[in-house]
Amino acid sequence: MKMSSENAENLKYSILHSNKILYCMRSRPCTETCMCWGLEVNNGWLNAIDDASQRLEALNYLMYPKFRVRVQADQVKEKYGTLHFYYSIVADPPKWMCAWNRLFHSIFDKISKLDFKRVEVLDKDAYDEVVEKELASREEFEKEKEANKNCCNVEVFEKDGKFIRRATYHHYKRTHSVATKHKLMDWLLDRRYFIENWPSRLFDFEPSHAQNCISKILEDKARDIVAKAEKDCYNVCEHCGHYISSKSTYSPRCTTRGWIAYLCQECADKTGQQYVMNGSVWQAGKEVMTKKQYAEEKAKADATCHAAQEDGEEEIDDEDQD
């Protein structure tokens, strides 16, 4: 049964906000994590993702309070018609370091929103750089002279019995931006990462032996849970969640014949995308290309691809011979 858009949004919200340890990066900016975009999947896979998220969060509840090791979701998205659940195993430092990180982010997130009224300041105006190189022999001199005869910035000449190659390089202006307001805040913002990491540098934090052991266990458990979720979504329509039998004559991963999606036949007809069924191409319930035409087009594309590969191999062989 297809899930309504309202129920799907509620389920997405529940997945992200109920599993707080797993999706702790959801509120961070895109410069730090891809989880800022939320769950980048259609509604048909939300039930499988919900089940996997609860299992991973259960591992976090078991291990994190004592060992401070957790499973962290980095990105959840649809790619090539399949579910890709990216995660990492994180060993957190002591509580006071984590409290410092939370305080640091809350302060510097507000500082980054200030209007610094930046202006461009000239570092160095355009200038010419002259580089001279002495050539070893007359043969090299003649070769360089012939190669650079049409170059306006390269001069090859003989001077005092030496062969000289002189090249002139033009460098453009270099500038940098300077804040005219909140200069102290701007100075702190430029040193943001140094200030954030000074406790770990000062106290030389490294994961303990216990944390490394628990990380290995979490890695194995999380791998199995994520693999099961990706397998559960493999034969499920992205839009309605309908299971598609492997014995079906319908090829759901060819719906757009380019950008791959995984849709059942009904959803593909509603979206107007093309799909392959019984060897022919269909769209909106109508056959748009016969089996023979599709086979000819596919054979032509395969021949073109094969010819391009052969040309590339010949070019590589020629370079090797040279």
Domain boundaries, the chain: 5-93+205-232, 127-171, 250-321
Regarding pTM above 0.75, the answer is no
Helix, coil or strand: residue 27: coil
User: Please, which residues have CB within 8 angstroms of residue 93's CB and are 6 or more apart in sequence?
Assistant: 68, 199, 200, 205
Please give the pLDDT value at position 1: 56
Q: Which tokens sit at 36?
A: 């800022």
Please give the pLDDT value at position 147: 86
pLDDT tens figures, 260-272? 777 777 777 777 7
Helix (H) or strand (E) holding 3: none
Low-confidence ranges of the chain (pLDDT < 50): 257
Please give the pLDDT value at position 49: 92
Distance (Å, rounded) from C-alpha 167 to C-alpha 313? 37
Please give the pLDDT value at position 74: 92
User: Given its phi and psi angles, is residue 31 left (phi above 0), alpha (psi -120 to 50 degrees) or beta?
Assistant: alpha
User: Please, which residues have CB within 8 angstroms of residue 116's CB and are 6 or more apart in sequence?
Assistant: 179, 180, 181, 182, 185, 186
